[in-house]
A and B are shown apart, each in its own frame.
Chain A
């Protein structure tokens, strides 16, 4: 059974600090998705990583994928309060349409 594990599940940090969220998955996959969910809102696509070594950056967020290690990271640089949200990673399951979701990392950035 494919499992997707995120850690930490909860992170409280100060503005201006750097941190990394990790997403491990248990089977081979050449794709991985990161989503953001603001409190009481729906999910918004952040990054689509389509190959080993893929790196994408937007603003203070950078995501990377290592398919050999079955690991993706979401790095936050000089965090700001507006980045407070829950971040989910997801990996395609056995069928090519189903996504298996991590439990989410709730990020709180204190001003």
Chain B
């Protein structure tokens, strides 16, 4: 596709449920990033993937958060046992290689009731 896509665009879930968010990066982009953005706040780095290298998970806030990426394609961010404080917009970005300009998807707005 022409840009980074994410699905779903909106997700409403009940506290304690698991959710899975999907990101399709720009074709050919080796680097993929997940960020969290709380309402009215800046970007909080979550995780970074570069090709087949081990991901940098240093930004994941707890062990309820995990992410996977197969090769240089789709990534999924999974949040287990969701809490109300997980409510935020989750943004995915990709870049041609590490350190380059990042291109963002439209985000998934997660609401935990």
Contacts of B42 in A (CB 8 A): 88, 101-104
Chain A residues with CB under 8 Å of B106's CB are 41-42
- Contact between A42 and B99, CB atoms less than 8 A apart: no
The answer for the CA separation of A102 and B101 in the assembled complex, in Å, is 16
| Interface band, chain A | 20 to 34
Question: In the complex, which residues of chain A have a beta carbon less than 8 angstroms from the beta carbon of B50?
Answer: 97
**Stretch of A15-23, A43-51, A59-67, A76-84 that contacts chain B:** A43-51
Chain B residues with CB under 8 Å of A44's CB are: 104
Instruction: Tell me if B12 counts as interface (CB < 8 A to partner A).
Output: no
- The CA-CA distance from A32 to B91 in the complex, in Å, is 20
Chain B contact patch, size range: 20 to 34
- Report the Cα distance A98→B58, complex, angstroms: 11
Most chain A CB within a 10 A radius of its CB, from B43, B45, B48, B99:
B43
Q: Which of B98, B101, B107 contacts A45 (CB 8 A)?
A: B101
- B62 close to chain A: CB less than 8 A: no
B70 at interface by CB-CB < 8 Å: no
Q: Which of A41, A92, A104 contacts B99 (CB 8 A)?
A: A92
